[in-house]
Structure formats: structure tokens, C-alpha cells
Amino acid sequence: MTIDPNSLSARALADRIRRAKVTAQEVTRETLDRVARINPAINAIVQDCAEEALADAAAVDRRIAAGDPVGRLAGVPVTIKVIADQRGYATTNGVTLLRDAVATADSPFLGRMRAEGAVVVGRTNTPAFSYRWFTSNQLHGTTLNPRNPALTPGGSSGGAGAAAAAGLGHIAHGTDIAGSIRYPAYACGVQGIRPTVGRVPAFNNSGGDRPIGGQMMAVSGPLARRVDDLRLALEVMSGYDPDDVMSAPVPLRGAPYLRRAALVTHPGGMQTDPRILADLDRAAAILRRAGWEVETPAAVPEMREAVDLQTDLWLSDGYAAKVAAAEAEGDPGALACLGRFRDRAPGIDVERFSEIFVRRATLVRAWRAFLADYPVVLMPNSAELPFKRDEDLDGPAALDRIWAAQLPQIAIPLLGLPGASVVSGVEGGVPSGVHVVTAPWREDICLDAAEALEAGFGVPELAE
């Protein structure tokens, strides 16, 4: 093989494969060799897809040799989180209770990726029930951050973030209901985007329909080392599918917009770490040099209440069943997360349930008006640099501090907004980054701003 696949973007790699400059099988073997060398130390990929990957790569090569058209992801290696249905594999969601929940069909977004020639090289880890910003469970074990094993790789898509950082595939699928794409991207030093609900169709036939909170706020989306890989992934993954009742055929490119950004350094009054503040200042300077107007607004719509609404909606959405499942699984992380709200959950009655939706509409309206004036909001991903591994198991005080720090991760889904985590750099083995937020369905603006930031910060190096 004459090239290192990780030296190319996904778009450039697919182009090389389509033009027969390199074969999909060569790329797949090289990626699987890298998985064999690196994954045992970090445990990002927890379900092996090597045999199927090689067969799919061979099929791509046969189409090319026959002169048949191949897709935009022709031969590009990707990973899929174990929370999503992939035909022939268990959709475990990181729990022993689901170790035999073998999917009979692909989730819609995966079907789209396969139709465009993507090659799934492995399935990535998640915490039990995908509850935490840390990634360990009793079925698949603990995933380590390839940048620094003392730090969390994030969660719940911690396996996806670790795989992307280590070069175990160009595009890593993740999910996000309270930061599960954006936080692993931040913690692992890669790029990640949470799309608008309905942008990327997803449905697990193995598990049936999601409850209310999941339908309103949970999304699938990509993580990668390059912003253009995120863009290409969204181009492929997006669209209408009848199996996803929230999906919509909204074009990825919207109307022309004003290149104007709001710099929000302390959303909800949170105490942001000095390094993150410095990163935000650098990001603002990068955007200004790229022709953006960046301002610090006098007032910003409410975010802290959005966290309370998101939390109460989660508690009202089958909390007792969640506790029963976590107790049956016996996972300490899931039990700690749920236990934090044991006294709060009984207060969520029908009246509060209705109030959540009324107040949500008010907050969403305020944010949509703000984003009409400022098409981009530049803010922290978290108040803190990436947490220590399993720090949420250090007791109630640690868990309270972690939840407070994650205000931007929790609030954005409740507000119905897309957001991207963009790497600012890795210093002393500790990644950092900034958070780009835009109006619903304007992932194109999010990606444009992220690409401008990437040009200034640089594409992150592979974690070796």
C-alpha cells in the first residue's frame, strides 16, 4: 500500500479508491491492522466486524472493476456505536441484559452509509445504558482515552471518540441526548457534531420506539478528526426515512447568512476554566481573521433553566423503570447517575410534565430570536477540562460538580439546537476545544464556522 489512509480526508480517500489508485480491501486491511495494534490498549471497539468489513470492501472493489458507480464513502472505514442496530450484531447499549439483542436490520442512517460504500470496521463502546460522560460497563469493559488514559474518553460515545482519535476509522458514529457526541469529541481531541433532531434518521427495530425525551432530543451524528469528514458524513447520513417519525428531508445548505458570532464565555453564569477562556479568545480571533464579526452580547437567553427542564423531562420519562433496569444490571455508574435524582423524581407529576413543555417553548423561542441576530454562538463545551476517568464515582460532591460543569452539553438538546465541538489543541496530554451552536437545521453554518476554526487551530494529530 502506497498511502497511509489516515493521511487523507474521507472524501479524498474515497476519491482515490474510486479512481483505483488504492483498493478498498487495502484500506480495510490497513485499518484492521491498526485496530489490532492499538485497540487492545484502549478498548474503543468492542464488537469485531473484520470478516464482514473485508467482504464489503471486496464488493466495493468489484463494482469499481466492473465500471459500476460507487458512493461518496466508497471504501471509507467507519465505526458504529453499540447503541445502534447493525444487522447481525447485538445492540447492547453497554448492558449484559441486552447481550443477545441481535439486530435483524440496519438502522436507517447505517443503511445510507452502506449504500454509499462505507465499510464498518467495528462497533464502539458506551457506558451502561449510555447514561454517563464516562465509558465503562460490565459487558464490554472500560474504554481509555488514547490521548491520556488518566482522563475520561467522554460518554456516552466514548468508544467513538477514542476510535476517531486513534485513527481506527475515518468516521465514528455517535449519539447525543445530553452531550454524548460533543463531549467525547472534546475529551478525545477530535471534531464532533450534534445535528438537529430529524436530520439523521435512526430507528432500532431491536428495541422499538423511544420514549418522549429520546424522540425529542436524541440524535445520531458523526465524530472525526477533520471537519470535512463531519460534513461528508452528514451529507450521507441525512434525509427522510419512514421508520424515524422525527426525520425530515431538509436540505443541508440553507439560505445565505450573516457571518456574525456571539462570544459567550460563561453561559448560565458558570465558572469557566482559564484555559477554556483562552481557547475561546483564540477562536474569536480566528473567526475575525476569517472575516467574521464577533461580539460579546449584553444579554444571552436562559440556559440554566433548560438544564432543569431537560433533567425533569428525563425523570418523568420512566424513571422507575430506569432504576429497576440499572439495579438488575448492577452497574455502579448507572446507579450513581440515577441515584443523584432519587429525591427529585417523585416531584415530577402531570402538572410539572405540562409545565416542562410550556417553558421549553418559551426558551426555544428566545434562542431562535437570538440566533436570528447571531447565526453562531461560540461558547464552552464544559466549564472544566476533561474529567478524570470515572470521576463521577468519587461521590455525590464530585457528581454534583460534574453536572454543573456540563451545562452547555445538557441545555442545547432541550433547546433543539445543533452544536459542534471543535478541537483547540492538546496540551500536556489534556485536550480542549470550543463549542459552536447554531439555529435548528443550520448545520451548514455550524460546519462553516468549525472549518474556519480548524484552519486556525489545526487538524488534530493521531493519538498513537
Catalytic residue among 81, 136, 316, 322: 81
- 127 closest CA partner among 101, 162, 102, 103: 162
Can 388 be counted among the known catalytic residues?
no
Catalytic residue among 107, 130, 136, 156: 156
Catalytic residue among 180, 247, 421, 432: 180
Can 156 be counted among the known catalytic residues?
yes
| Set of cell numbers at residue 400 | 454534583
Can 180 be counted among the known catalytic residues?
yes
Q: Active-site residue numbers? A: 81, 156, 180
